[in-house]
Amino acid sequence: MNWEEIIKGRQRSLTRLMPVKDILVEMIRDNIEDYSPSFTLKDIINNLPELKRRLKEEAPKYNVSQIKIGQYITHRAEQNLRQSISSIIKNSDLPFNIKGGDVKVVTFVRNDGIEKARKLPRVLPLGKLLTEAIETYLPNLPDVFDNSDLRGDEFIKHFKDLCTNRYPNYKAHISRWFQNRAMNFITQFSKAYIISGELPVEITYKNVKGSSTLGQPVYRKTDLTKSNKVEKSKRSLARKLGFGKILVEAIETYLPNLPDTFSNLDLQHEDFHRHFKELILNYHSNDNGRISSWFNYKVEGFISQFTKRYIESSNLPINVTYRKRDTPIYTKTDIVKSDWRGILQKKSKARRKKGSKRAKKKKSKAKKDACYYKVRRRYKKWPSAYASGALVQCRKKGSKNWGNSKKK
């Protein structure tokens, strides 16, 4: 080995040959219970023998000698920790907050995981897991239940076990999330995930006296189960039988009974449901059983999701506005959309005709005098910038004077 190779080998630090930072973070995460709620750099330096043992276990993967690891621990490890421990903990997912600007005085305070727990639903599909937990826990729930039953200890334990079994690497994060954020998550999103998960559950609302807003959701079990093959065919029943076009016809025929401004809540009444069902049965009388079971638990979600889309794509005399971001409001109009389209098409045709007439007039107004023919004979390229400039000069001087040489 040459002396140049020896110098190059010494210059290569262990942090470039091995992922020392990742191994350090794993060591802190595994021994997180041994640390006090607030600790300093000395507590991490005291665990250098543990770090040395982990580095030696990982050394064969990266072709690093045991001597190099020993030299790093004795000479460089403490200095590297003082320089980069704060950035390592900040960039990791460890539940620690850093206090103190100076390295000598810096302390690490254990965070209860509230900040990381808030971000956990972005990393893990907790909504789908909640839907699955409700579906598997339905036999243990009463026929009529609400969010308070889902916030019970037994359901929380069932939900937590499902999450930890599915994602064992996030066990610590999941436990912190269930301590701080699980209750609010269930109260806010259980209704939405029950609707999107197509669970066999009907949703109603408790009446609140003196307020026009909806009360707390109440869930009622239905006879259909999600594992039934017949029910799976009912999910695509609306596509097979064309319920969208029939919904447009139902709204059109039911418009005199609706107010001038209405929303999806006005279409959730029993009268409109009955009218909608009668129209469907007129077209598809052979599928009476499947249609009735579809109306038992699917019609509310269908109307709330697709009413706006079908109204906008149809020719109904209705304008769509928004009270909030996702709450459409429908307003009756006197003119049908098809008439508006015809009017707009007529206006666009008239504008095109006017534009073509103006262009013809401009072309006819172009002068073709003696200068025009004289300049055009002189220049091969026509039209061009030089030719147009010469045409302007010719008209200033006159056709007789332009182009004559000044030499006598």
Ranges of beta strands (E only) in 178-327 are 201-205, 217-221, 261-262, 318-322
User: Scanning the structure block, which residue is given the tokens 């056709």?
Assistant: 399
Ranges of beta strands (E only) in 261-340 are 261-262, 318-322, 328-332
3-state secondary structure 386-398: HHHHHHHHHHHHC
Residue 358: Cβ within 10 Å count = 10
Q: What are phi and psi of 40, to 5 degrees?
A: -120, -175
- pLDDT per position as a tens digit, 154-167: 999 999 998 888 88
- pLDDT 10s per residue in the chain (408 long)? 454 544 445 545 777 788 888 888 888 777 776 776 677 777 777 878 888 888 888 888 888 888 888 888 888 888 888 777 777 777 776 767 776 544 445 566 665 444 444 567 767 788 888 888 988 888 888 888 888 889 888 999 999 998 888 888 788 888 888 888 888 888 888 888 888 777 888 888 776 555 445 568 888 888 644 344 444 444 567 888 888 889 988 998 898 888 888 888 888 888 999 899 989 888 888 878 788 878 887 888 888 888 888 888 888 888 888 765 567 888 888 754 445 556 556 666 776 776 666 666 655 555 678 888 888 888 888 878 888 888 888 888 887 778 776 554
Separation of alpha carbons 215 and 6, rounded Å: 77
Per-residue model confidence (pLDDT) at position 62: 82
What pTM does this model have?
Answer: 0.33
Partners of 99 in the β-ladder: 107
- 372-384 exposure pattern, b = at least 16 Cβ within 10 A, e = fewer: eebbeeeeeeeee
- 297-308 exposure pattern, b = at least 16 Cβ within 10 A, e = fewer: bbbbebbbeebb
Per-residue model confidence (pLDDT) at position 106: 58
CA–centroid distance for 225 within its chain = 30
Per-residue model confidence (pLDDT) at position 22: 84
User: Scanning the structure block, which residue is given the tokens 């003196």?
Assistant: 210
Per-residue model confidence (pLDDT) at position 361: 60
